[in-house]
Amino acid sequence: MKKRIAVLISNKGTGSNLAAIIDAVKIGEIPNAQIIVVVSNKADAQGLMHANKNKIPTEILDLSSYKTIHKSREDYNRDLARILIKKYDPDLIVLAGWMIILSETFIQNFTNKIINLHPGLLPDGKDSYVYLSNGAKIKAIRGLHTDMAVKYALDHHYPASGSTVHFITAKVDEGPVIIRGEVPILPKDTVATLYSRMKIKEHEILPLAVKLFCEGKLHIKKGKIEIS
């Protein structure tokens, strides 16, 4: 049976990681998977174009409209979970540029079934530091949105930055790490040049993490991932 994947995107991104997953499924790199829905927070998210082109159903759930009618963030989370469970019954939820922090109740509905792509290198669990491939230790970049996370690495003169695919838990940016994609920082790098290389890496690591999940190769042992 094919694994049913829901991808959550937002109008803050370009949808390039969604496109990378769609392509990987299409060319058979992730053979046992099917993208069953793309959810966006806004109707003008660029990524919806990729969903429409590939005839993937879409759902728009706008948090600001909840605020207008005095409904809470928890109402939003509850409705999002309800739509996903009742209409789509996903095996995996991929956050690919999704910007809304999901509530604990939402996450409990999908334990060990939600993965996130984070534009910084993260350690396992709540450690403050992460080790680069050359052994250098850098402070983990947590809690910052994309451009700010990329800028942080440059401002702090890190030798490298990168992105991380991890399972999400109620603690933001602290879930078990599946893959880190390290990207060296070059002397003349700007946010734009560094981020463009990070994205190339993201387009490799996110589909790979999805593939490993769909093949049942990811095992969480004591808060860490073991790949079989």
Any idea which residues carry the catalytic annotation? 118
Buried b (16+ CB within 10 A) or exposed e, 189-202: bebeebbebbbebb
CB-nearer residue toward ligand GRF: 47 or 176? 47
**What tokens were used for 223?**
């808060």
Q: Which of 2, 4, 14, 83 is the binder for ligand GRF (CB under 6 A)?
A: 14
**Would you say 33 or 117 has its CB closer to ligand GRF?**
117
Name the one range near ligand GRF by CB under 6 A: 8-16, 62-70, 106-114, 169-177: 8-16
Q: Which is nearer to ligand GRF, 24 or 117 (CB)?
A: 117
Report the residue number, 71 or 193, with the smaller CB distance to ligand GRF: 193
What is the pattern of x (binds ligand GRF, CB under 6 A) and - over residues 135-174?
Answer: -----------x----------------x-----------
HSE of 90, CA atoms in CB hemisphere, 13 A: 26
From 13, 90, 123, 176, residue interacting with ligand GRF (rule: CB under 6 A): 13
Name residues whose C-beta falls within 8 Å of residue 112's C-beta, 6 or more positions apart in sequence. 167, 220
Residue whose C-alpha is closest to residue 38's, from 2, 69, 84, 91: 84
Q: Does 123 interact with ligand GRF (rule: CB under 6 A)?
A: no
Binding residues among 183-202 for ligand GRF as defined by CB under 6 A = 199, 202
The residues that bridge with 38 in the sheet, in sequence order, are 7, 58
Instruction: Please list, in sequence order, all residues whose beta carbon lies within 8 angstroms of the beta carbon of residue 13, skipping any fewer than 6 positions away.
Output: 45, 46, 47, 96, 97, 146
φ and ψ at residue 64, rounded to 5 degrees: -65, -30
Which residues of the shown chain bind ligand GRF in the complex (CB under 6 A)? 13-18, 47, 96-97, 117-119, 146, 163, 199, 202
